[in-house]
Amino acid sequence: MESQVPLHGIDLIDCAQANANQGIKLAAQQCGYRDDLTAFDRELTVATAQIGVKINGFQDLIKTIEPGQVRGIEIAPDSDTKI
């Protein structure tokens, strides 16, 4: 849901992370910054610095998965035998 006012602090970080894979334009809109990508990126940098995390910009929030990499873990029995 799009915020009606620009978010700040941890709320901005949460919103930006949740929308990061959709791109900066959509993330900025969802976080209340509409088309002001400069203000969005600046406030995101400030917000992360406040919690002790240094980012070099919005791109640092995008989670990438390498080709062939599987999310999660595989859970399987240790052997093929049945008890």
Sequence spans of domains, the chain:
9-61
| Tens place of pLDDT per residue across the chain (83 aa) | 788 999 999 999 999 999 999 999 999 999 999 999 999 999 999 999 999 988 888 888 887 655 555 555 555 566 666 65
Identity at 63, one-letter amino acid code? K
pLDDT value of position 83: 57
pLDDT value of position 33: 96
pLDDT value of position 56: 86
DSSP code for 4: S
Distance, CA of 72 to CA of 35 (rounded, Å): 35
- Smallest Cα–Cα separation from 28: which of 48, 43, 46? 43
